[in-house]
Homo-oligomer: A and B are copies of this chain.
């Protein structure tokens, strides 16, 4: 999917919601455990209930990898089930020397046909570039994450720039806003504003509304650009809204609630 197609979907659905498929056998409703593939069955029903409010799905790869080969089969089935007009994100945080990153790219872009993958920047240019060699496939580079440990290294300052700022600056030499997004977990207005200034045209994947805390209005006000430029992720608050047989209905209601808030924000930005 390319950037204008993504923006089209955002306008059509009046939403920039990304639903995180952090699907955990210990958290899904008990009645699903007897199905042949409970993980896929859960995802399928979540997708059915949320897809009209959602422009992206983001399976967190660890949840599938922890289940061994079966988990990869559930992931593959899930990916095939997601409607083709919805953007898909492999939240994998990969990144290795060039020939190894090439293999990860093949795994997620060819074996599984994801639209994008999250990548860790620590190993630099040759660890990121192999992912950029696929047409209409995206790298979502970790810049400023939303976890407590973000402050350990990402905020270190060198030559007047914090590490995450340098990641954003440097990586723009490697690609364009047509193939590169950033993970920006900013929950403060001034920080979101300054990061947007560094990358005016890029999409940001924003974790941290819902169960992780945060503020959709602030993120939207200071983070939006003229093509929206935001995908805001929510996982647990939607997919685990209920642990009973009404889990899908409740997930749909929660997704709709977020979509309606997003519609207001898009309107406020005249998009």
Contacts and interface: CB of A to CB of B under 8 A. Distances in A.
Contacts of A147: 97-98, 123-124, 126-127
Interface stretch (A34-42, A61-69, A223-231): A61-69
B153 A163 contact: yes
B97 A94 contact: no
Contacts of A60: 96, 100
Interface of A: 22, 60, 62-63, 65-70, 72-73, 76, 91, 93-98, 100-101, 103-104, 106-107, 111-112, 120-128, 142, 145-154, 156-159, 163, 166-167, 170
The 8 A-B pairs of least Cβ separation, nearest first, read: A124-B149, A124-B152, A62-B103, A69-B69, A156-B158, A125-B149, A66-B103, A126-B149
Contacts of A153: 121-122, 124, 163, 166-167, 170
A72 B68 contact: yes
Contacts of A68: 72, 76, 107, 111-112
A209 B54 CA distance: 48
Contact of A154 (B70, B76, B120, B122): B122
A112 B122 CA distance: 26
Given A103-B66, A122-B122, A97 B158 contact: no
Given A62-B103, A66-B106, A69-B73, A150 B123 contact: yes
Contacts of A167: 153
Nearest to A72: B69
